[in-house]
A and B are shown apart, each in its own frame.
Chain A
Amino acid sequence: MSDSILECRSLVKYFPGCLALNSVNLSVPKGRIVGLLGPNGSGKSTLIKLANGLLTPSSGQILINGMEPGIETKKIVSYLPERTYLNDWMSVRTMIDFFGDFYQNFNKSKAYDMLQRLHINPVDRLKTMSKGTKEKVQLILVMSREAELYILDEPIGGVDPATRDYILDTIISNYSENATVLLSTHLITDVEKILDEVIFINMGNIVLTSTVDEIREKEGKSVDALFREVFKC
């Protein structure tokens, strides 16, 4: 149990008229960077929201480090939701103070460091920023926590390729050996080099879990190419 940071046991999530997750069994080991990949509406965000306690399972269990999602797990999980929840009127500096007050493991100097690298002025208010810059700020806040599990829902969707590289670089160099990163994305080509493992999910079922190199060895093609084949419309 102590080897996996996230575990699902027969996890079911049922919405009226829609089975979002169909008895998912899954174990994400510590110290890995894992990609959660699937087409639109496959259940990625549902799984992520369950892991963060924003939804509750219809049946089955989801455990973070052996605990059900709650106050204790929120201390060790740093979560980037698909939509921003930050207040528009706040400046970046206020937000950093806010996060610093809120989370014990928030590292302010790391946050300021990253802001500088991405040329974001800490006194700027969020509402004056472009969509991409807002996403950068949010990711900086999330990655500045020294967490055990980072859950990133579409972290690179709205940013330009150069920033994408910087963000991936940040993910590689910031995560410690014991930390795990679970990220969902459609931009597979961009992320596959930094992933240890991939999880393919479709219509609420896990259809494949494998390492990136295993896929390339067995199939002789990239994860992106395999994805296009498995999920061909």
Chain B
Amino acid sequence: MAWDLKSDRPIYAQLVEQIQLMVVSGIYAAGSKLPSVRDMAAEAAVNPNTMQRALSQLEGDGLLYSQRTSGRYVTEDVQKIMQIKNNLAADLIQDFLEKMNRLGFDREQTIDLLNHVTKEEG
């Protein structure tokens, strides 16, 4: 997966988001081992200290955990992952609703439109 980093926001915050995304989408499965900080930093082409900071925050949030000798793992708590997945989805929907609102659609119209479009697709 390619890392997509914007230039106007703090790098570590963007790393946090993208790692969350990788975990909820199963690229890093529950209980699996993460690559080393250095490898992840090289892959994302960022400073290792910045990657370390992002990983520490995710550890604080409970999505990752460290084992002193063997490295860093994704939590085995599937519920925790689902919770983060739901949070991310809620954020996306909120963002979508706001944009639709700016286009002049209220909530009901938006939902109608959404139903319409998904029916057409299916």
Residues on the A chain within 8 Å of B89, using CB: none
Q: Which of chain A's residues has its CB closest to B12's CB?
A: A213
Contact between chains at B45 and A213 (CB < 8 Å): no
Contacts A169-B42, A172-B41, A172-B42 hold; do A212 and B11 have CB atoms under 8 A apart?
yes
- Stretch of B47-55, B77-85, B90-98 that contacts chain A: B47-55
- Stretch of B1-9, B21-29, B67-75, B106-114 that contacts chain A: B1-9
Contact between chains at B45 and A222 (CB < 8 Å): no
**Any B CB within 8 A of the CB of A120:** no
Contacts A173-B38, A222-B7, A224-B7 hold; do A193 and B12 have CB atoms under 8 A apart?
no
For the residues of A in contact with B, the DSSP-based class is helix
How does the 8 Å CB contact mask read for A175-208 relative to B, with 1 for contact and 0 for none?
0000000000000010011111000000000000
Contact between chains at B10 and A193 (CB < 8 Å): no
Q: How many residues of A contact B (CB 8 A)?
A: 23
**Any A CB within 8 A of the CB of B46:** yes
**A-B pairs, 9 with minimum CB distance:** A222-B7, A213-B10, A216-B10, A173-B42, A193-B46, A194-B47, A217-B10, A221-B8, A196-B49
Q: A196-B49, A212-B11, A222-B7 are in contact. List 8 more A-B contacts (CB 8 A).
A: A168-B45, A169-B45, A172-B42, A172-B46, A192-B7, A194-B46, A216-B9, A220-B9
